Chains A and B, each alone.
Chain A
Amino acid sequence: MSALAEPTGAPAAWPNTYGDEAKPRMGFFTDTTVCIGCKACEVACKEWNLIPEDGLEWSGLSYDNTGELSANSWRHVAFVEQAKPLKLDGELATADGGPEPLRWLMESDVCKHCTHAGCLDACPTGSLFRTEFGTVVVQEDICNGCGYCVPACPFGVIDKRDLPRSPDDAPLALPLLGKKEDGRVWKCTLCYDRLKGGHEPACAKACPTDSIQFGELDELRGRAQKRLEKLEAEGWNGPRLYGEDPDDGVGGFGAFFLLLDEPEVYGLPPDPVVPTAQLPRLWRTTALAAAAVTVGIAAAFLGGRE
């Protein structure tokens, strides 16, 4: 609990609870400056994880028809068109007399596998757990679909899959225990099963330009820092790392990003904090309030029976 009150850069149950089983903490570094927006990550993820198709609605939001991360989309490529230069100096800066500058930001979003994960802390069944790789995974054989993890995620990642009841489902024979088709929550597992077999996650493997890089988190952080320095030296417009800082509100992301604009432009929270960071204080408040209820009601007895 105390560790949670002030998030640190180390997850709570890893590596210590795993002993010899513990593996290096694995993660993603998603470098948006080389993302070509092809969505191979979305498809490769669906193929591997057998995720249902997520609707055939055209959004008109540039080339993004996925919209957001959800139970049925564990990778989501964001597309943002901007009348801004890609570089602040050099060739791509606004040329005199040339056309308006234009850049097209693309970013493959994914579960952040937080060091302090709101979903994991909130899960009442232990379905969500921290694996030996330091990642955060839903155990589909445990999840009972209480849905508490959904609002507990500061990124809006984890989501409940509600498939419509099929017509031949028993009509409320056992209204409470009747099995719904799914009703569980889903999100990126960082391909836990593949990792166990020594394979890299499906999205990172497919990524044609290596925008999604998979590896040991420590190594990725070093790589990202170097990349940032290179881009800054080349005069890129607005490069920044997002989620690599172990001192941030979730103790750093297991899957972090190199962005070219403010996080919220990509649909990411600018300063995410794990809800549990405030939980000790919240428990005290709750206990005090409970005591106050007792005392208050006791006071009501002072006036006698009538």
Chain B
Amino acid sequence: MPSLGTSFGRGGATTFQQDLMNADCVTIMGSNMAENHPVGFQWVMEARERGAEVQHIDPRFTRTSAMATRHVGIRAGSDIAFLGGVVNYILEHDRWFDEYVKRYTNAPVIVSEDFSDTEDNDGLFSGWDPEQAQYDVTTWQYAGTKVHAAAGQREKGFSPSRVKGEQSHGGHGGGLSHGNPPETDDTLQHPRCVFQILKRHYARYTPEFVADACGCTVEEFLAVAESLCKNSGPERTGAFVYAVGWTQHTVGVQLIRTAAIIQLLLGNIGRPGGGIMALRGHASIQGSTDIPTLYNILPGYLTMPHVEHYGGLDAYIDMTTAPGGWWGNADAYMVSLLKAWWGAAATPENDFCFSYLPRIDDDNSNYWTVQQMLKGKVKGYIVAGENPAVGSANGKANRLALAKLDWLVVRDFVEIETAAFWHDSPEVESGELKPEEIATEVFFMPAATHLEKDGSFTNTQRLLQWHFKAVEPKDDCRSELWFYYHLGKKIKERVAESQDPRDLPILDLTWRYPTSGEIEEPSADSVLAEINGWDSTGEALAGYKLLKADGSTSCGCWIYCGAFAEDKNQAARKVPHWDQSYAALEWGWAWPANRRLLYNRASANPDGEPWSERKRYVWWNADEEKWTGRDTPDFDAEKKPDYVPPDDAKGPEAIRGDHPFVMQADGLGWIYAPQGIVDGPLPTHYEPHESPFLNPLYRQQSNPRRQKNPDLAEDPYNPPGSDVYPYVLTTYRLTEHHTAGGMSRFTPYLAELQPQMFVEVHPDLARERGLKHGEWATISTARSAIEARVMVTDRMRPVKIDGTVRQQVGLPYHWGQRGLTTGGAANDLTHMALDPNVHIQEVKALTCDIRPGRRPRGARLPDFVAEQREIAHADNGAAPPQPAETKDTTVSKR
């Protein structure tokens, strides 16, 4: 989560679910929390029952809206316009938390003269390179700083825009000498200070603009803005809750950044009942970025070396180390990781085996891989617990890609669509794929459930929770731990005799984990112990402060250091909540350092006193000369509030006693992001990649930096403003199912609760298109067409954009070809245009058509889709096309 990482320092939720009950206002946006995180939602209900306002801003009226004290319907893809309006409201009405903003954020910092805003360049920030279609971010820096990455620039092509941004975790550099930005204006009046830039940037986001751009009323917008403002300040706090309704946009990262700006202006970060709660959809999705199964980072958000980086470990460390804050110790984190992986073979002399690490390109992310597959460049693919055939955007492209592989390993509980693509898929039905012509060798490996293995999940609030094996897996079912362990063991055996240097990383790899039982299951405890790390005596480390860059410590993931402190599995702690405070510090273990509410130094004023009794959380105990409170202080326990670092201070020592954001080089919350984000230092409203509307602000229609695949035949786009695809489409989940359905569509008790794919439309749209409740409709985009049963409901609200009422179409995305309940896969309709920072697909706002009737069958389906597409492109804006004529009652004529 680079947006949170860049703004505050860490790529994780700033708070924990239980703390939502302390909020005076909970704003849920980009999330349908009641439906998708029902048990976590109990804390929102607790807040509501205590009198808090609960506002839900969402294109649909959902079960969350039903519980909210206010629902505001906006069009999908207009969130930055809405939130930008809130920023403007705060600034226009002097509602910011003045002392917090001045002391804890970078609002007073003066920005380089080279910077110019989207308002000055019709939708582009300074530094735009139309050739490369990317920004030179050096123009966005603070005034008076040397660009930190200048060191890196000695190396060819090593531009800051390349190295930052990817899953950024903390503002690494900023070119600060010792943590303090060089030029500031504490009166916030300097025309180039962040505060004034912000003010100018959002000046046009008036309530009337918001209403026109988002399709709500001025009154609705004002009610939301006023609630946010009045529930902030020393006595009150408000929290934001979001999920993939924000991330899955071509502006996803910027969208979250807008909320970060609001929360910093209102002084809601680091305080009880405040914060930004990121809700993740999978049991360990936070864990899978902390210990990443992501191409661009190593455990603990350390960057993967790039092919254009060939300077060795020192250059790497120089590039990743920040002058101030905890990223100042990046060398210790990296060396300890290399020691964990290559053990005794990793020595200071050989750069601790740094050269063993493979190098990445700019983008080797999932959707890039899919394209490589389509080109036949990927031979082998291992899929463990995911279902890209229906779970990834543009399902058809994904399935066609699978058919180009030489071999495919699918590990799951049931035969999901990804395993079955070669005999049971829409392409087999249409004849586009024929089993006897597909060369892919497929291994289906039955997986063990969480009840059949030990291990830890990291939940949405960064909390590691251990689950114990309850029963043995049956027959061939095995854990991933077993699979990868034995895979590694066998690969090591294969190359045991090898002299080839390329095999050294395998030969030297530490791979000794005790196993037990007949099936030789490796010990998950021992893996967690390695992740936690040891000192040179083999003693488990108590925390990342102890990590050294000299090779005397080993640690598999520095932010998890402490999870196995005292040689005990801290994640397995299960002290009941009734035996401890509500922060529950003895239940599981949270990174970092078992802190539950991050940046909690900010819950006290610059002098270390609580802002108010009501919002007391962590404070400076002058008698004991240390920080204390209800949580582990997220600050050096003994650093005084008035500490000022000496000029030569580095790393954590360079952080002032009144700068709460200890991961940031300057210790400040970043309203303005001079680096770390590739598509702008401030969020700006851009239209989604596919939108029926023109950008009301700029000629620059969509995010200029978004990733798209104009040359990829398998990923065609609806032309902007096309009458063939006139409706806004948004996809989502239902309580009763889980993501692409692999764990729910195959489960009787869940399948029966939502047993069929349906599409939600407003009665006006039903009238417009002749759709009837309960009957079939066909929804189509340039990618494909699917059918669904029609749910005509007022919950799917139309929006009035710039005076015209426009309709939105809602599709749950749980279905596919297989399971107890089957149906059209919504992801067959979606495209692979991505957010440039994190390569996440935009499936929350695109365009589509909808007609009554079932979809064409067999080979007529691709024909129908192609015809529509051609009409859209040939005659953009002209009369809509006639659908394919078919014998049965497929798509009917309009």
Contact = CB atoms under 8 A, between A and B. Distances in A.
A1 B753 CA distance: 43
B794 A102 contact: yes
Contacts of A42: 749, 753
A8 B859 CA distance: 70
Nearest to B227: A91
Nearest to B750: A43
A169 interface: no
A63 B755 CA distance: 10
A225 to B, nearest CB: 17
Interface in A6-62: 34, 36-40, 42-43, 46-47, 53-58, 60, 62
B223 A91 contact: yes
Contact of B753 (A66, A91, A104, A106): A66
B794 A39 contact: no
Interface in B43-72: 45, 49, 53, 61, 63-67, 69-71
B672 interface: no
Nearest to A230: B49
B67 A81 contact: no
B749 A38 contact: no
Interface in A92-137: 92, 95-100, 102-104, 106
B797 A99 contact: yes
A56 B755 contact: yes
Contacts of B71: 102
Most chain B CB within a 10 A radius of its CB, from A34, A58, A92: A58
Contacts of A81: 793-795
Contacts of B680: none
B755 A58 contact: yes
Interface string B33-50: 011001101100100010
Contacts of A96: 219
B753 A43 contact: yes
Contacts of A39: 735-736, 753
A272 interface: no
Given A36-B67, A99-B73, A56 B820 contact: yes
A54 B752 contact: yes
B751 interface: yes
A299 interface: no
A36 B196 CA distance: 43
A32 to B, nearest CB: 11
B217 interface: yes
Contacts of A47: 749
A103 B66 contact: yes
A83 B794 contact: yes
Contacts of A34: 45, 49, 67
A209 interface: yes
A65 interface: yes
Contacts of B752: 53-56, 65-66
B217 A98 contact: yes
B807 to A, nearest CB: 14
A209 B42 contact: yes
Contacts of A106: 63, 66
Interface in B21-40: 34-35, 38-39
A210 interface: yes
Nearest to B789: A58
A161 to B, nearest CB: 15
Contacts of A209: 38, 41-42, 45
Interface string B435-471: 0000000000000000000000000000000000000
B215 to A, nearest CB: 10
B61 A104 contact: yes
B281 to A, nearest CB: 16
B45 A97 contact: no
B70 A91 contact: yes
A36 B66 CA distance: 8
B750 A37 contact: no
A99 B796 CA distance: 12
Interface in B777-797: 789, 791, 793-795, 797
A263 interface: no
A36 B38 contact: yes
| Residue from A39, A46, A103 having most chain B Cβ neighbours under 10 A | A39
Contact of B754 (A65, A99, A100): A65
Contacts of B67: 34, 36
B750 A208 contact: no
Contacts of B755: 55-58, 65
B675 interface: no
Contacts of A100: 794
Given A56-B820, A208-B41, A38 B34 contact: yes
Contacts of B795: 81, 102, 104
Interface of B: 34-35, 38-39, 41-42, 45, 49, 53, 61, 63-67, 69-71, 73, 217, 219-220, 223, 734-736, 748-756, 758, 773-774, 789, 791, 793-795, 797, 820-821
Given A58-B754, A60-B758, A104-B61, 14 more contacts: A36-B41, A37-B66, A38-B38, A53-B749, A56-B821, A57-B755, A65-B753, A81-B795, A86-B66, A95-B219, A99-B220, A104-B63, A208-B38, A209-B45
Q: Which 6 A-B pairs have the closest CB atoms?
A: A58-B756, A104-B66, A53-B748, A56-B755, A60-B774, A36-B34
17 contacts: A36-B45, A36-B63, A39-B735, A53-B749, A53-B752, A56-B751, A58-B756, A81-B793, A81-B795, A92-B69, A96-B219, A97-B217, A98-B217, A99-B217, A104-B65, A104-B66, A106-B66
